[in-house]
Each structure stands twice: as structure tokens, then as C-alpha cells.
Amino acid sequence: MITIEFDMDETLITILDNTGECEDVSVLIYDDYVHIRQYNEKTNRFDVITMKPEMYLKIMKAWKLPEGTYDLVMKEEL
């Protein structure tokens, strides 16, 4: 299951593990950064990865590419 919530300056995507084996994963998207976080029961804190939005888009595009090395160039919208 996936939930998507829009706030004034944030988009929050939450991916839930239907099996209950893994903690939920949250993707917090802002104009300048994307944070991917998952709660860690061992430390009682979130493990967080921070990246630029362009990096996150490249991860999403990589799902559909075959094995290899790529240089993905993001075009600015006019």
C-alpha cells in the first residue's frame, strides 16, 4: 500500500510493507531536497538518506533501464 499526501511545501509518500516484515518507508519531497527515511527499532530513530530531487528522479528512471552505465541528463522545463 502507498499513501501520498500534499502539504504547502512538502509531498510525503509512504510505502507500507504489507507483510509486516519491514518498517514503512517515507519519501519527503521538497523543492531543494528529498529525504528517504525508515524507522530503526534498534536505535529508536529514523535512518535518513538525503539527496537532490534530480538524484531521486534518476533512481526512479533506473528501475526501467537494463544493466549498464548511464549518464542521465535532466532537462529544464520552460
Residue 78 banded pLDDT, cuts 50, 70, 90: low
Q: Which amino acid is at 21?
A: E
Q: Which of 3, 6, 4 is nearest to 30 (CA)?
A: 6
Contact between 26 and 14 (Cβ < 8 Å): yes
Q: What is the pTM of this model?
A: 0.83
pLDDT tens digits for 13-38? 999 999 999 999 999 999 999 999 99
Helix and strand element counts for the chain (H, E): 1, 5
